[in-house]
A = this chain, B = another copy of it.
Amino acid sequence: MSLLTVGSVAFDALETPYGKTDKIIGGAATYATLAASYFTKANNLVAVVGDDFPQSMIDLLETQGVNTEGLEIRKGEKTFFWSGRYHENMNSRDTVEVQLNVMGDFNPKIPDSYQGATYLLLGNTSPEIQKMVLDRLATRPRLVVLDTMNLWIDIALDSLKTVLKEVDLLTINDEEARLLSGEYSLRKAAKKILTMGPKTLIIKKGEHGALLFHRDEVFFAPALPLEEVFDPTGAGDSFAGGFIGYLARTDDISFENLKRALIYGSVMASFCVEKFGVERLVGLSETEINERLAEFVKLAIFKVD
């Protein structure tokens, strides 16, 4: 089944306790489509960059099987730029600088060839843009997944609530779930959020794994404890890409399969953090992915009498 991902393609500059990068390729949709590329060949990207964005990177996305027909390149403009610094514990970070550039008036254009997408990932952009994408699709996808962040809960709550009504599955982190619901307990937060539109909710807890809520059901996918986390940037987006990519491949949105998808999402996130930027998400072999999956099985599975 075909997957459509809409979101940011960007330059990032990062500083972690392990080192520093100049401008490298980042953006939620970059991480997500790269992660999804291991699961689906119909992997369509809608994003916008400036003409400072290197052709080599577009070629790399294409080589990984990402369809960049919907990647708009704006002449004379600059690509979205974010720079951040991670704290010693790698769990929190400060934004050092943001230059919206082309993202300031992102007007997502859906190529005709993308119409009929069955799986849609609305990456973290403003709720207005996310709504625009939904309105521009001729047919409603089978599953609409939306990612958002605290910024939009703070400054665009009404718009967010409007678009949430049209969404099947929301992914946010624990802090954002608390902010959106006003509840500290994640179980209570999930209950409230599941009345806002989405029938399914994923709460991402970073190195502490992710929770999947649907009706009264709850499932937990652990994060793999790694010897070294080099760069957590994009982990949540790789998670989302692996998750929806697996769903697009299997075309099964039963709770049992959502659980599997959550594990595949965690697998992709565990690769992402092992190197700076998107480096580890390029050129992974099927064997590497299967071996990593086996590590998750060993980590989580037990038998009771």
| Interface residues of A, Cβ cutoff 8 Å to B | 88-90, 184-188, 205, 208-209, 211, 217-222, 225-229, 256, 259-260, 262-263, 293, 297-305
Number of copies of this protein chain within its complex: 2
Chain B residues near A262 (CB-CB < 8 A): 302
Give the residue of B188, B217, B299 whose beta carbon is less than 8 angstroms from that of A220.
Answer: B299
Q: Residue among A218, A221, A293, A297 with the most chain B CB within 10 A?
A: A218
- Nearest B residue to A264 via CB reads B304
The answer to whether B185 touches A229 (Cβ under 8 A) is yes
Give the top 9 A-B pairs by smallest Cβ distance, nearest first. Answer: A208-B208, A259-B302, A220-B222, A187-B225, A187-B227, A220-B299, A186-B225, A188-B227, A300-B300
| In the bound complex, CA of A208 to CA of B211 (Å) | 11
Q: Residue among A186, A205, A222, A298 with the most chain B CB within 10 A?
A: A222
Give the Cβ gap from A83 to chain B, nearest Cβ, in Å. 23
| In the bound complex, CA of A293 to CA of B305 (Å) | 11
Give the Cβ gap from A195 to chain B, nearest Cβ, in Å. 15
The answer to whether A263 touches B302 (Cβ under 8 A) is yes
| In the bound complex, CA of A205 to CA of B206 (Å) | 14
Give the residue of B209, B260, B298, B301 whose beta carbon is less than 8 angstroms from that of A222.
Answer: B209
| In the bound complex, CA of A225 to CA of B216 (Å) | 12
Given A209-B222, A222-B222, verify A227-B185 contact (CB < 8 Å): yes
| In the bound complex, CA of A150 to CA of B210 (Å) | 29
Chain B residues near A205 (CB-CB < 8 A): 208
| In the bound complex, CA of A220 to CA of B209 (Å) | 11
The answer to whether A225 touches B211 (Cβ under 8 A) is yes
The answer to whether B300 touches A187 (Cβ under 8 A) is no
Give the Cβ gap from A262 to chain B, nearest Cβ, in Å. 8
Chain B residues near A222 (CB-CB < 8 A): 209, 220, 222
Q: List 27 A-B contacts (CB under 8 A).
A: A88-B184, A89-B184, A90-B184, A185-B227, A185-B228, A185-B229, A187-B225, A187-B226, A187-B227, A188-B227, A209-B222, A211-B225, A217-B298, A218-B225, A218-B298, A218-B299, A219-B300, A220-B222, A220-B225, A220-B299, A220-B300, A221-B302, A259-B302, A260-B305, A263-B302, A300-B301, A300-B302
